[in-house]
Copies of this chain bind each other. A is one copy, B any other.
């Protein structure tokens, strides 16, 4: 029973951190706000994260990439063709973004940009996180019938656009960049399937 609690405290901190990092970024998220939002105890911070805030950042980024990869997989699971899956993915993300009041962007990008030039640890975590998400996309495209080399190329392109469109959509408070990209890549992937 306690084991559940222990897991829960650390996990709850990470989940809250992931949300706060998405919204306000790494530096603007303080431990104080984190414990207030998550309802977890101050005093256990150092116990659960002996590596300090950096360790929290790494954990949050990892959680974010897991969720992102799962989101990709979910879109492919719900559609018949890879091309439709890509479109659905972009559309669902656009919807979720709008529903959050344009607040919940990519859980990796903000922290990555803030820390890539100052914290090697977080920079590597960001790289791994992007690679994992992109890897999920490559796997799904290949499974969907795209030739492996082309799948890798396409995934890099699509994922780049995804990240950029997510930023533009958030700043412009508009789904358009994501929807446009979704439509464009639907046909591009369809071409690759022939």
Contacts and interface: CB of A to CB of B under 8 A. Distances in A.
A114 to B, nearest CB: 4
A123 B23 CA distance: 13
A113 B118 contact: no
Interface residues of A, number: 42
14 contacts: A25-B114, A27-B27, A102-B116, A102-B117, A103-B117, A109-B113, A114-B114, A153-B180, A156-B177, A161-B161, A161-B181, A162-B164, A163-B163, A163-B168
A94 B184 CA distance: 24
A162 B160 CA distance: 8
The 3 A-B pairs with the shortest beta carbon distances in the complex, nearest first, are A164-B164, A163-B164, A27-B27
A160 B164 contact: yes
A102 B163 CA distance: 18
How many copies of this chain does the complex contain? Answer: 4
A123 to B, nearest CB: 7
A153 B180 CA distance: 7
B130 A172 contact: yes
Contacts of A156: 168, 176-177, 180
A167 B109 contact: yes
A78 interface: no
